Amino acid sequence: MTQFDDVVIDIQKLSFSRGDRPIYNEVDIKIPRGKITAIMGPSGTGKTTLLKLIGGQLKPDSGSILVDSKNIPALSRSDLFGVRERMGMLFQSGALFTDISVFENVAFPIRVHTDLLEDMIRDVVLMKLHAVGLRGAHDLMPSELSGGMARRVALARAIALDPDIVMYDEPFTGQDPIAMGVLVNLIRRLNHSLGHTSIIVSHDIQETLGIADYIYIIADSKVIASGTPEELSRVESEQVKQFIQGLPDGPVPFHFPANDYEDDLLKGNR
Protein backbone atom coordinates (compact mmCIF):
# COMPACT_ATOMS: atom_id res chain seq x y z
CA MET A 1 0.00 0.00 0.00
CA THR A 2 1.31 3.42 -0.97
CA GLN A 3 1.97 6.05 1.64
CA PHE A 4 0.45 9.42 0.77
CA ASP A 5 2.30 12.69 1.37
CA ASP A 6 -0.81 14.61 2.21
CA VAL A 7 -4.03 13.00 3.40
CA VAL A 8 -7.15 15.16 3.36
CA ILE A 9 -9.69 12.59 4.58
CA ASP A 10 -8.53 10.01 7.05
CA ILE A 11 -11.04 7.33 8.03
CA GLN A 12 -9.98 5.14 10.93
CA LYS A 13 -11.63 1.98 12.21
CA LEU A 14 -15.01 3.00 10.82
CA SER A 15 -17.93 0.74 11.72
CA PHE A 16 -21.49 1.35 10.62
CA SER A 17 -24.52 -0.88 10.42
CA ARG A 18 -28.10 -0.62 9.19
CA GLY A 19 -30.18 -2.47 11.73
CA ASP A 20 -28.40 -5.78 12.24
CA ARG A 21 -26.66 -5.68 8.88
CA PRO A 22 -23.05 -4.47 9.11
CA ILE A 23 -22.17 -2.11 6.24
CA TYR A 24 -18.65 -1.28 7.43
CA ASN A 25 -16.53 -3.19 9.88
CA GLU A 26 -13.44 -1.38 11.19
CA VAL A 27 -12.50 0.07 7.83
CA ASP A 28 -9.49 2.35 7.26
CA ILE A 29 -9.49 4.60 4.19
CA LYS A 30 -7.16 7.48 3.39
CA ILE A 31 -7.98 9.97 0.65
CA PRO A 32 -4.94 11.84 -0.74
CA ARG A 33 -5.21 15.59 -1.31
CA GLY A 34 -5.50 16.87 -4.86
CA LYS A 35 -5.89 13.39 -6.34
CA ILE A 36 -8.78 11.44 -7.83
CA THR A 37 -9.69 8.53 -5.59
CA ALA A 38 -12.23 5.97 -6.69
CA ILE A 39 -14.39 3.86 -4.42
CA MET A 40 -15.59 0.78 -6.22
CA GLY A 41 -17.60 -2.25 -5.28
CA PRO A 42 -20.76 -4.16 -6.09
CA SER A 43 -23.99 -2.21 -5.63
CA GLY A 44 -25.47 -2.34 -2.17
CA THR A 45 -22.09 -2.55 -0.44
CA GLY A 46 -22.38 0.93 1.02
CA LYS A 47 -20.56 3.28 -1.32
CA THR A 48 -23.24 5.96 -1.11
CA THR A 49 -23.35 5.35 2.62
CA LEU A 50 -19.61 6.09 2.80
CA LEU A 51 -20.09 9.47 1.10
CA LYS A 52 -22.91 10.31 3.49
CA LEU A 53 -20.70 9.37 6.42
CA ILE A 54 -17.96 11.67 5.13
CA GLY A 55 -20.50 14.47 4.66
CA GLY A 56 -21.73 13.96 8.22
CA GLN A 57 -25.29 13.06 7.23
CA LEU A 58 -24.92 9.71 8.93
CA LYS A 59 -23.09 9.01 12.15
CA PRO A 60 -20.84 5.96 12.40
CA ASP A 61 -21.33 3.43 15.20
CA SER A 62 -17.65 3.81 16.00
CA GLY A 63 -14.43 5.05 14.50
CA SER A 64 -13.38 8.46 13.29
CA ILE A 65 -13.62 10.37 10.03
CA LEU A 66 -11.05 13.15 9.96
CA VAL A 67 -11.45 15.81 7.29
CA ASP A 68 -8.45 18.13 7.56
CA SER A 69 -8.04 16.70 11.07
CA LYS A 70 -11.57 17.67 12.13
CA ASN A 71 -13.51 14.64 13.33
CA ILE A 72 -16.81 14.87 11.44
CA PRO A 73 -18.99 12.74 13.76
CA ALA A 74 -17.97 14.88 16.74
CA LEU A 75 -18.66 18.28 15.19
CA SER A 76 -21.51 20.50 16.30
CA ARG A 77 -24.25 21.20 13.80
CA SER A 78 -22.91 24.63 12.92
CA ASP A 79 -19.26 23.48 12.60
CA LEU A 80 -20.47 20.72 10.35
CA PHE A 81 -22.18 23.20 8.04
CA GLY A 82 -18.91 25.14 7.96
CA VAL A 83 -16.97 22.06 6.80
CA ARG A 84 -19.62 21.25 4.22
CA GLU A 85 -19.16 24.62 2.52
CA ARG A 86 -15.85 23.24 1.29
CA MET A 87 -17.37 20.00 0.02
CA GLY A 88 -19.41 19.48 -3.11
CA MET A 89 -21.47 16.38 -3.58
CA LEU A 90 -23.06 15.00 -6.70
CA PHE A 91 -25.92 12.77 -5.61
CA GLN A 92 -26.75 9.55 -7.36
CA SER A 93 -30.17 10.83 -8.40
CA GLY A 94 -28.97 14.35 -9.14
CA ALA A 95 -31.24 15.74 -6.41
CA LEU A 96 -31.95 19.00 -8.22
CA PHE A 97 -34.42 21.29 -6.48
CA THR A 98 -37.55 20.66 -8.49
CA ASP A 99 -39.25 23.99 -7.80
CA ILE A 100 -36.56 26.20 -9.36
CA SER A 101 -34.97 26.36 -12.82
CA VAL A 102 -31.66 24.86 -13.91
CA PHE A 103 -30.06 28.29 -13.64
CA GLU A 104 -31.33 28.85 -10.11
CA ASN A 105 -30.22 25.37 -9.08
CA VAL A 106 -26.64 26.11 -10.03
CA ALA A 107 -26.86 29.61 -8.56
CA PHE A 108 -28.23 28.30 -5.28
CA PRO A 109 -24.98 27.52 -3.44
CA ILE A 110 -23.46 30.75 -4.76
CA ARG A 111 -26.33 32.82 -3.40
CA VAL A 112 -26.19 31.03 -0.08
CA HIS A 113 -22.49 31.45 0.52
CA THR A 114 -21.42 34.63 -1.27
CA ASP A 115 -22.57 38.22 -1.75
CA LEU A 116 -21.72 38.34 -5.44
CA LEU A 117 -23.62 40.75 -7.66
CA GLU A 118 -26.29 39.32 -9.93
CA ASP A 119 -24.13 39.91 -13.06
CA MET A 120 -21.28 37.90 -11.64
CA ILE A 121 -23.53 35.10 -10.45
CA ARG A 122 -24.92 34.90 -13.97
CA ASP A 123 -21.45 34.62 -15.46
CA VAL A 124 -20.34 31.96 -13.00
CA VAL A 125 -23.51 29.91 -13.49
CA LEU A 126 -23.29 30.05 -17.27
CA MET A 127 -19.61 29.06 -17.15
CA LYS A 128 -20.37 26.05 -14.97
CA LEU A 129 -23.27 25.03 -17.19
CA HIS A 130 -21.10 25.48 -20.27
CA ALA A 131 -18.53 23.15 -18.77
CA VAL A 132 -21.11 20.36 -18.60
CA GLY A 133 -22.49 21.22 -22.04
CA LEU A 134 -25.85 22.54 -20.85
CA ARG A 135 -25.57 26.31 -21.07
CA GLY A 136 -28.48 26.30 -23.52
CA ALA A 137 -30.69 24.53 -20.98
CA HIS A 138 -30.37 27.18 -18.27
CA ASP A 139 -33.99 28.24 -18.23
CA LEU A 140 -35.50 24.75 -18.31
CA MET A 141 -37.06 23.26 -15.21
CA PRO A 142 -35.50 20.07 -13.77
CA SER A 143 -38.59 18.09 -14.81
CA GLU A 144 -37.77 18.89 -18.45
CA LEU A 145 -34.34 17.20 -18.31
CA SER A 146 -33.40 13.61 -18.99
CA GLY A 147 -31.73 11.65 -16.20
CA GLY A 148 -28.27 12.09 -17.67
CA MET A 149 -28.77 15.83 -18.20
CA ALA A 150 -30.07 16.26 -14.65
CA ARG A 151 -26.95 14.54 -13.35
CA ARG A 152 -24.77 16.96 -15.34
CA VAL A 153 -26.65 19.99 -14.02
CA ALA A 154 -26.19 18.57 -10.54
CA LEU A 155 -22.48 18.31 -11.28
CA ALA A 156 -22.40 21.97 -12.29
CA ARG A 157 -24.11 22.80 -9.00
CA ALA A 158 -21.72 20.63 -7.00
CA ILE A 159 -18.72 22.53 -8.39
CA ALA A 160 -20.35 25.97 -8.40
CA LEU A 161 -18.36 27.19 -5.42
CA ASP A 162 -15.11 25.46 -6.45
CA PRO A 163 -15.09 23.27 -3.35
CA ASP A 164 -11.86 21.66 -2.13
CA ILE A 165 -13.39 18.20 -2.02
CA VAL A 166 -15.89 16.96 -4.58
CA MET A 167 -17.70 13.66 -4.11
CA TYR A 168 -19.28 12.12 -7.18
CA ASP A 169 -21.83 9.37 -6.63
CA GLU A 170 -22.02 7.32 -9.84
CA PRO A 171 -21.41 10.24 -12.22
CA PHE A 172 -21.20 8.04 -15.32
CA THR A 173 -24.44 6.11 -14.94
CA GLY A 174 -26.97 6.93 -17.63
CA GLN A 175 -24.60 9.03 -19.77
CA ASP A 176 -24.22 8.46 -23.48
CA PRO A 177 -20.67 7.80 -24.73
CA ILE A 178 -20.07 11.43 -25.75
CA ALA A 179 -21.27 12.91 -22.46
CA MET A 180 -19.27 10.21 -20.69
CA GLY A 181 -16.07 11.31 -22.41
CA VAL A 182 -16.82 14.95 -21.63
CA LEU A 183 -17.49 14.14 -17.98
CA VAL A 184 -14.31 12.13 -17.60
CA ASN A 185 -12.34 15.01 -19.05
CA LEU A 186 -14.16 17.55 -16.94
CA ILE A 187 -13.47 15.71 -13.72
CA ARG A 188 -9.84 15.26 -14.65
CA ARG A 189 -9.50 18.93 -15.66
CA LEU A 190 -11.11 20.21 -12.47
CA ASN A 191 -8.78 18.06 -10.55
CA HIS A 192 -5.60 19.06 -12.29
CA SER A 193 -6.18 22.76 -12.82
CA LEU A 194 -7.97 23.64 -9.61
CA GLY A 195 -6.39 21.07 -7.33
CA HIS A 196 -9.72 19.63 -6.13
CA THR A 197 -9.67 16.41 -4.25
CA SER A 198 -12.13 14.13 -6.00
CA ILE A 199 -13.82 11.02 -4.71
CA ILE A 200 -15.62 9.02 -7.35
CA VAL A 201 -18.02 6.25 -6.53
CA SER A 202 -18.60 4.10 -9.53
CA HIS A 203 -18.90 0.68 -10.98
CA ASP A 204 -18.02 1.71 -14.52
CA ILE A 205 -14.71 -0.09 -14.31
CA GLN A 206 -13.01 1.05 -17.48
CA GLU A 207 -13.79 4.76 -17.06
CA THR A 208 -12.78 4.66 -13.44
CA LEU A 209 -9.55 2.80 -14.01
CA GLY A 210 -8.71 5.38 -16.66
CA ILE A 211 -9.30 8.42 -14.50
CA ALA A 212 -8.44 7.45 -10.93
CA ASP A 213 -5.09 7.97 -9.25
CA TYR A 214 -5.95 5.58 -6.47
CA ILE A 215 -8.69 3.00 -6.02
CA TYR A 216 -10.36 1.29 -3.10
CA ILE A 217 -12.45 -1.79 -3.74
CA ILE A 218 -15.06 -2.50 -1.09
CA ALA A 219 -16.92 -5.74 -0.51
CA ASP A 220 -18.22 -7.63 2.51
CA SER A 221 -18.01 -4.51 4.73
CA LYS A 222 -14.22 -4.33 4.22
CA VAL A 223 -11.70 -2.84 1.85
CA ILE A 224 -10.66 -5.91 -0.12
CA ALA A 225 -8.02 -4.16 -2.19
CA SER A 226 -6.53 -0.76 -2.75
CA GLY A 227 -3.83 0.74 -4.91
CA THR A 228 -3.12 2.57 -8.11
CA PRO A 229 -4.71 1.16 -11.26
CA GLU A 230 -1.42 -0.59 -12.17
CA GLU A 231 -1.07 -2.09 -8.74
CA LEU A 232 -4.61 -3.41 -8.86
CA SER A 233 -4.17 -4.96 -12.27
CA ARG A 234 -1.27 -6.96 -10.82
CA VAL A 235 -3.17 -8.14 -7.72
CA GLU A 236 -3.50 -11.91 -7.67
CA SER A 237 -6.60 -12.15 -5.47
CA GLU A 238 -9.51 -13.90 -7.18
CA GLN A 239 -11.98 -11.52 -5.60
CA VAL A 240 -10.30 -8.45 -7.08
CA LYS A 241 -9.76 -10.04 -10.48
CA GLN A 242 -13.37 -11.02 -10.62
CA PHE A 243 -14.49 -7.51 -9.84
CA ILE A 244 -12.16 -5.80 -12.28
CA GLN A 245 -13.08 -8.21 -15.07
CA GLY A 246 -16.77 -7.93 -14.21
CA LEU A 247 -17.62 -11.62 -13.85
CA PRO A 248 -20.85 -12.46 -11.99
CA ASP A 249 -19.55 -15.67 -10.42
CA GLY A 250 -16.64 -15.75 -8.07
CA PRO A 251 -15.72 -14.85 -4.53
CA VAL A 252 -17.51 -11.46 -4.64
CA PRO A 253 -21.16 -12.29 -4.07
CA PHE A 254 -23.52 -10.95 -6.72
CA HIS A 255 -26.52 -11.89 -4.56
CA PHE A 256 -27.87 -10.03 -1.58
CA PRO A 257 -27.46 -12.29 1.49
CA ALA A 258 -30.32 -14.82 1.33
CA ASN A 259 -31.47 -18.25 2.41
CA ASP A 260 -30.45 -21.26 0.40
CA TYR A 261 -31.87 -20.86 -3.12
CA GLU A 262 -33.18 -24.42 -3.39
CA ASP A 263 -34.84 -24.27 0.02
CA ASP A 264 -36.52 -21.00 -0.89
CA LEU A 265 -37.97 -22.39 -4.09
CA LEU A 266 -39.11 -25.65 -2.52
CA LYS A 267 -40.82 -23.91 0.37
CA GLY A 268 -43.49 -22.62 -2.02
CA ASN A 269 -44.51 -26.20 -2.93
CA ARG A 270 -45.25 -27.49 0.53
Partner 1 sequence: MDQLALLGRKGLDKLAAFGRAGMILFQSLVAKPQPLVMFPLFVKQIYFIGVLSLIIIVVSGLFIGMVLGLQGYTILVDYGSEQAVGQMVALSLVRELAPVVTALLFAGRAGSALTAEIGLMKATEQLSSLEMIGVDPLRRIIAPRFWAGFICLPILSAIFAIVGVYGGSIVSIDWLGIYDGSFWANMQNSVNFYDDVLNGLIKAVVFGFVVTWIAVFQGYDCIPTSEGISQATTKTVVYSSLAVLGLDFILTAVMFGEL
Nearer to ligand ADP among residue 56 and residue 110 (C-beta): 56
Q: How far is the CB of 42 from ligand ADP (least distance, A)?
A: 7
Q: Which of residues 43-72 bind ligand ADP (CB under 6 A)?
A: 43-49
Residue 16 binds which one of partner 1, ligand ADP, Mg ion, none, with CB within 5 to 8 A depending on kind?
none
For Mg ion, which residue of 48, 173, 221, 228 counts as binding (CB under 5 A)? 48
Residue 91 binds which one of ligand ADP, partner 1, Mg ion, none, with CB within 5 to 8 A depending on kind?
partner 1
Nearer to ligand ADP among residue 12 and residue 49 (C-beta): 49
Residue 254 Rama label (left phi>0; alpha psi -120 to 50; beta): alpha
Residue 23 binds which one of ligand ADP, partner 1, Mg ion, none, with CB within 5 to 8 A depending on kind?
ligand ADP
> Residue 240 in contact with residue 232, Cβ under 8 Å?
yes
Residue 40 interacts with ligand ADP (CB under 6 A): yes or no = no
Binding mask 45-84 for partner 1 (x = CB under 8 A): -------x--x-x-------------------x---xx-x
Residue 112 binds which one of ligand ADP, Mg ion, partner 1, none, with CB within 5 to 8 A depending on kind?
partner 1
Give contact residues for partner 1 (rule: CB under 8 A): 52, 55, 57, 77, 81-82, 84-85, 87-89, 91-93, 95-98, 108-109, 112-113, 154
Give contact residues for ligand ADP (rule: CB under 6 A): 18, 23, 43-49
